[in-house]
Amino acid sequence: MDKTLQTVAHAMQSRFGAEVQEAHGEMTLFLPPQRLVPAAKALKEEFGFDMLMDLTAVDYWPQLKPRFHVVYQLYAFGRNLQLRLRTGLDGNAPAMDTLETVYPNANWFEREVFDMFGIRFNGHSDLRRIIMPYDWQGHPLRKDYPLGYEEVEFTFNFDEIERKKPYAKE
């Protein structure tokens, strides 16, 4: 593992209480949700992690504490380093602060996570659904959301299918 990355991890450990994990040549910092935004700000301003590459979430249903993990991929262009941040969120309707204030491109990524997982980001400038239709019910990438399929509609079964439409079948 890279020396500079070790230094960064130690600094984050002492300042924000981050839990460090190394696997497959990648470094992950676990942070509590309320400390994530200040930690990202410090990483950006002091350690040169100037690009947010990816932001996504994972659902661990039926486990509820934590139910979700939000995963951030940071990249330091000048030093060519990658770092992953993770934070756990409890419960079925979780919320955390937006990272848009630090990385403006978190905007769409957070909208996608909101759309797909139903995690709300406080202070987000434009928290609307992005991929699913506006009137969609539920959050498709949650594990308690069935995969479902669409039945082919013909004239003879049109009414029957339309009646049960918005709910996907198990």
Partner 1 sequence: MTDIREVTVDELRHLVTDRALSGETLLLNMGPQHPSTHGVLRLLLELDGEIVLNCVPDIGFLHTGVEKNMEAKTYQKAEVMTDRLDYLNPIGNNLVYCLAVEKLLGLDVPPRAQAIRVILAELTRLNSHLLWLGTSALDLGAMSVFLYCMREREIILDIFEMCSGQRMMTTYVRPGGLWRDVPVEFESAVRNFIELMPRRIDEYERLLSNNPLFLERTIGIGVITREQCIEWGVTGPIARASGLKLDLRKARPYSGYEQYDFEIPTQTAGDVRARYQVRVAEMRESLKIIRQALDKLPYGPVRSNNRKYVPPPRSEIGVSMEALIHHFKLWTEGFHAPKGYVYATIESPRGELGVYLESDGGTKPYRVHYRTPTFAHLQLMPLLTKNHFVADVVAIIGSVDIVLGDADR
Residues that bind partner 1 (CB under 8 A): 23-26, 28, 50-54, 56, 58-59, 71, 73, 75, 77, 80, 82, 84, 103-105, 107-108, 112, 125-126, 128-135, 137, 140-141, 147, 162-163, 165-166
Pair of tokens at residue 102: 């630090």
- 3-state class of 83 per DSSP? strand
User: How far apart are CB 159 and partner 1 at their closest, in Å?
Assistant: 11
Question: How many other C-beta atoms lie within 10 A of the C-beta of residue 68?
Answer: 26
Q: In the complex with partner 1, which residue's Cβ is closer, 33 or 44?
A: 44
C-alpha–C-alpha distance, residues 39 and 42, integer Å:
5
User: How far apart are CB 129 and partner 1 at their closest, in Å?
Assistant: 8
Quick one: the chain helix, strand, coil %, rounded to 5?
A: 30, 25, 45
Would you say how long the chain is, in residues? 170
Q: In the complex with partner 1, which residue's Cβ is closer, 14 or 56?
A: 56
Beta-carbon contacts of 22 under 8 Å, excluding residues fewer than 6 positions away, are 1, 28
User: How far apart are CB 94 and partner 1 at their closest, in Å?
Assistant: 16
Q: In the complex with partner 1, which residue's Cβ is closer, 14 or 122?
A: 122
User: How far apart are CB 14 and partner 1 at their closest, in Å?
Assistant: 25
